[in-house]
Structure 1
Amino acid sequence: MCNDYRLLIDIASIVEDFADLKIKIKMPEGAPNVAAREDVKITDMGPIVRSVEGERGIGELVSRRWSWPGQNGRPVYNFRSEGRTFASHRCLILADGFYEFTDPADPKQKRLDKWLFTMKDHDWFCIAGIWRADAAGEAFTMLTMDAGPDVSPYHHRQIIPLRRDQWADWLDPAVPAKDILHWLPKGSLPVTQVHGAPPAQASLL
């Protein structure tokens, strides 16, 4: 399960791509100061675009913490999508890659193998998420489902990257979640191995 992702694309390029899709981006807190990062980890701050209630085709770009505290004190950074409607507090999580970890192919290697998934034909993409506020402040989490054809060789669950024509729908709570949250076609998420991987953290399913 994803506990590490990448974002190297600058905010200006991101806003331009949203404009090409006729999605207006507001920045109520000013442009997020987002440095390019190979690894965005749990509890790090990351940029999201969240829905604006009652306004289709408009999103708010803000920077928020990845994960909120769960009842057992563990961070909730992944959240099951099955059987849920997500009638509010939807968001798009900006990324240009995400990582999965597997047992090392080399038994002499103590660290897990690390794999980078990107989006075919696009420099960056959006992951379906939700956000919430609590005593620690506002935070977001990534939605998950059973793994599709590209991810299943590496993990039995996966996060949900969205096609560009789905972004406006995800920001509109009137569009049923079940109509949006699906696997991408096989071959949509090219994968490459990243060497020198640290041990992965346990994931909340």
Structure 2
Amino acid sequence: MCGRFTLTVGLGEILERFQAEMADEWEHKPRFNAAPTQMLPVVRMDEESGTRTLTLMRWGLIPRWAKDRSIGNRLINARGETVDTKPSFRHSLRRARCIVPADGFYEWTSTSDGKKQPLRIILKGERLFAFAGLWDRWEDDEGGSVDSFTIITTRPNEKLAKVHNRMPVILHQEEEVSWLDTNIKNLDMVTALLEPYPAAEMELYPVSSLVNSPKNDQVKCIDPLC
């Protein structure tokens, strides 16, 4: 699964990397321990203009048919193997795909003394990357709305298999165009992108237990343990 991630760079770098424009005004700050239910940057395609837009969405997908928003607390991830059949996700797979900018994510591994050691996983060069995501818009009875997203997961590559039995789908940069293009209706083409990222392109290192609490969102979260 993917339950925490990082996005430690400035707004300008995000916009340049993903060739996106701001959809609305909001203050960006680096995130060292992004967690579910928080409002986080997401890139989606504006169908009318054909431009990529960056906006804030709530992490934890609330399907449009949900009776209340609490279901989103459970839908922080979607399994790539079943995303085209699950009622919570199949509409978004066809009509509302997005990418979630990140530069790292966390997983926990068991130590010899039975404790859990957090690890930060990054791409070599610590470069920005895109999680494959889905979004939806939920409306309440008073006319308010919430845009929310989920991150798709897949089987782990050989490096992450030693840590967890799932990993988030990281798109290759050249695949991002196809993922965002909802004019592509062939779901076989779309789901073919939901593969493990190459292990040789990834690194991981142990970090402080500060990341165990989402209240801690500081640069010390990403510092390697000595």
User: TM-score, normalised on structure 2?
Assistant: 0.75
Does the C-alpha gap of structure 1 residues 200 and 76 become closer, same or farther in structure 2, counting only changes over 3 Å? Answer: farther
User: TM-score, normalised on structure 1?
Assistant: 0.82
2:57 is matched with which residue: 57, 64, 74?
A: 64
Confirm or deny that 1:100 pairs with 2:100: no
Q: In the alignment, is the contact (CA less than 8 A) between 2:62 and 2:136 conserved in 1?
A: no
Identity of aligned residues (%): 25
Does the C-alpha gap of structure 1 residues 181 and 200 become closer, same or farther in structure 2, counting only changes over 3 Å? Answer: farther
Distance 1:34 1:26 in 2: 14
Q: What pairs with 1:41-60 in structure 2 (closer than 5 Å)? A: 41-53=35-47, 58-60=51-53
What residue in structure 2 maps to residue 158 of structure 1?
Answer: 167
- Say which SS state the counterpart of residue 169 (structure 1) adopts: helix
Higher strand fraction: Structure 1 or Structure 2?
Answer: 1
Q: In the alignment, is the contact (CA less than 8 A) between 2:98 and 2:133 conserved in 1?
A: yes
What residue in structure 1 maps to residue 13 of structure 2?
Answer: 13
What residue in structure 1 maps to residue 2 of structure 2?
Answer: 2
Confirm or deny that 1:124 pairs with 2:137: no
Answer with 158-167 or 175-184: which moved more.
175-184
Confirm or deny that 1:140 pairs with 2:149: yes
Deviations 1:152-188 (A, max 9, x none): 1111111111111111111112162123221222222
Q: In the alignment, is the contact (CA less than 8 A) between 2:102 and 2:128 conserved in 1?
A: yes
| Residue identity in the other structure for 1:169 | S
Cα drift, residue 118 of structure 1: 0.6
| Residue identity in the other structure for 1:91 | C
1:192 is matched with which residue: 200, 205, 209?
A: 205
| Residue identity in the other structure for 1:120 | K
In the comparison of the two structures, how many residue pairs are matched? 191
| Residue identity in the other structure for 1:67 | G
| Residue identity in the other structure for 1:44 | Q
Distance 1:105 1:33 in 2: 43
Distance 1:198 1:63 in 2: 22
- Say which SS state the counterpart of residue 165 (structure 1) adopts: helix
Distance 1:13 1:46 in 2: 16
Q: Which runs of 4+ in 1 moved over 6 A?
A: none
- Say which SS state the counterpart of residue 16 (structure 1) adopts: helix
Cα drift, residue 5 of structure 1: 0.5
Structure 1 vs Structure 2 CA RMSD:
2.4
Cα drift, residue 54 of structure 1: 6.1
- Any unmatched runs of 5+ in structure 2? 85-89, 215-226
Does the C-alpha gap of structure 1 residues 105 and 35 become closer, same or farther in structure 2, counting only changes over 3 Å? Answer: farther
- Say which SS state the counterpart of residue 152 (structure 1) adopts: helix
| Residue identity in the other structure for 1:183 | P
Distance 1:199 1:18 in 2: 30
What residue in structure 2 maps to residue 27 of structure 1?
Answer: 22
- Say which SS state the counterpart of residue 133 (structure 1) adopts: strand
Higher helix fraction: Structure 1 or Structure 2?
Answer: 2
